């Protein structure tokens, strides 16, 4: 960004309280990470310790928190209305921006002649491929290297990332974001064992992704055996998540990285699965359930709103109690030995 403190403070309508107005600020960072040429912000009492330890060149501080700023900070201090809002503005202005949306079908993109797309309002970047019968909504961008399969339907204002694969027939709603390398609609994993060989069970369904879903990088969502694998409205899925065929995920769920959900499992709404969770096939997880990291859910969770943990996943308090008990095992072994000795002594005494 390369602005003096004076220029930066002026540009956000702030008021310089202390520090060298002519010092150069080149970027921005959180209080704990910021160096002497970076701007940071202080917008809540709970960040007092971070503020006290910061090396930032400049800290923008919410007006009503000025009283909490230590006198001996190395940082210049500027007062602003709401420091969080102002900092977001700085980040938005000087941070990495996503590539500008340029409508049109770029040179080096391949769009089949049967594709339903208006190049005046949609964007296909170089190296992207859109195959026969697909439909691309207005405001949607297909990034380089992405492959949109036959008869795929994509809604409006979607962002299909680089090297993404959308297989034939899949359906995406509006404002769907899919990050690089993700594969939607590959065949589910289904075989019948016959005469010593695994015979493939054809996978003839699709994946349906509802509005406002975001899916991270290198995630895989398999097409249904028949019917639909469904990702519900507003659900957010992280990187390297695996979702099997015929899974149904409800609305506004959070599925963190490296989680795997086996075929035909059903998640309700507002379910949160932390990182590296495994969910067995054909089970159900009730609304608003939270499952802790690295857990394995192998039976249906029917009561909504609970917090589960462990493998097999149990209510959090049960797993924590079990872990607490486990910590006593070493001393328990000693106590039993002690008891055995005493009892033997008693026995001899008789």
Q: Which of 198, 245, 252, 282 is catalytic?
A: 245
Is it true that the peptide bond before 312 is cis, omega within 30 degrees of 0? Answer: yes
Q: Which is nearer to a copy of itself, 51 or 225 (CB)?
A: 225
Q: Does 4 bind a copy of itself (CB under 8 A)?
A: no
Q: Does 195 bind a copy of itself (CB under 8 A)?
A: no
User: What residues numbered 220-239 form the site for a copy of itself, per CB under 8 A?
Assistant: 220, 222-223, 226-227, 234, 236, 238-239
Q: Which is nearer to a copy of itself, 21 or 144 (CB)?
A: 144
User: What residues numbered 128-187 form the site for a copy of itself, per CB under 8 A?
Assistant: 128-129, 131-132, 143-147, 149-151, 161-165, 167-169, 177, 179-183, 186-187
Binding flags for a copy of itself, 73-112, as an x/- string (CB under 8 A): ------------------xx--xxxxx-------xx-x-x
DSSP string, 261-291: E-TT-EE-SS-EE-TT-EE-TT-EE-TT-EE
- Among 216, 232, 268, 306, which residue interacts with a copy of itself (rule: CB under 8 A)? 216
The whole-angstrom separation of Cα 33 and Cα 99 is 27
DSSP string, 50-90: HHHT---SEEEEEGGGGGGS-TT-SSEEEEES-HHHHHHHH
Residue 72: CB minimum distance to a copy of itself, A: 25
Return the bridge partners of 11, or none.
none
- Among 296, 304, 316, 320, which residue interacts with a copy of itself (rule: CB under 8 A)? 296
Both tokens of 320, joined, read 């924590």
Give the β-pairing of 307-309 and 314-315. Answer: antiparallel
- How many C-beta atoms lie closer than 10 Å to residue 312's C-beta? 12
Residue positions annotated with a catalytic role: 245
């Amino acid at each position: 960004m390369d602005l003096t403190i004076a220029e930066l403070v002026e540009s956000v309508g702030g008021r310089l309280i202390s520090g060298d107005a002519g010092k150069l600020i080149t970027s921005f960072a959180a209080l704990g990470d910021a160096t002497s040429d970076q701007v940071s912000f202080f917008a809540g009492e709970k960040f007092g310790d971070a503020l006290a330890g910061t090396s930032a060149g400049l800290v923008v501080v919410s007006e009503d928190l000025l009283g909490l700023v230590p006198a001996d900070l190395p940082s210049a201090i500027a007062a602003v209305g709401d420091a969080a809002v102002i900092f977001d503005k700085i980040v938005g202005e000087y941070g990495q921006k996503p590539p500008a949306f340029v409508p049109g079908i770029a040179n080096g993109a391949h769009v089949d002649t049967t594709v339903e797309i208006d190049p005046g309002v949609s964007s296909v970047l170089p190296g992207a491929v859109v195959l026969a019968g697909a439909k691309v909504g207005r405001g949607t961008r297909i990034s380089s290297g992405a492959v949109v399969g036959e008869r795929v339907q994509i809604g409006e204002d979607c962002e299909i990332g680089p090297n993404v694969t959308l297989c034939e027939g899949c359906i995406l709603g509006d404002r769907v974001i899919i990050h690089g390398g993700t594969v939607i609609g590959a065949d589910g994993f289904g075989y019948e064992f016959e005469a010593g060989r695994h015979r493939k069970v054809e996978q003839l369904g699709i994946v349906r992704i509802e509005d406002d879903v975001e899916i991270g990088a290198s995630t895989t969502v398999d097409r249904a055996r028949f019917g639909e694998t469904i990702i519900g409205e507003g659900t957010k899925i992280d990187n390297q998540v695996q979702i099997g065929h015929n899974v149904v995920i409800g609305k506004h769920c959070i599925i963190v990285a490296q989680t795997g959900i086996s075929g035909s499992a059903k998640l309700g709404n507002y379910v949160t699965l932390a990182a590296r969770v495994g969910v067995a096939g054909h089970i159900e997880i009730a609304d608003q359930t939270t499952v802790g990291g690295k857990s394995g859910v192998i039976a249906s969770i029917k009561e909504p709103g609970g917090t589960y943990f462990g493998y097999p996943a149990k209510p959090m308090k049960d797993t924590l109690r079990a872990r607490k008990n486990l910590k006593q095992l070493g001393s328990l072994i000693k106590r039993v030995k002690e008891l055995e000795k005493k009892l033997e002594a008693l026995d001899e005494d008789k």
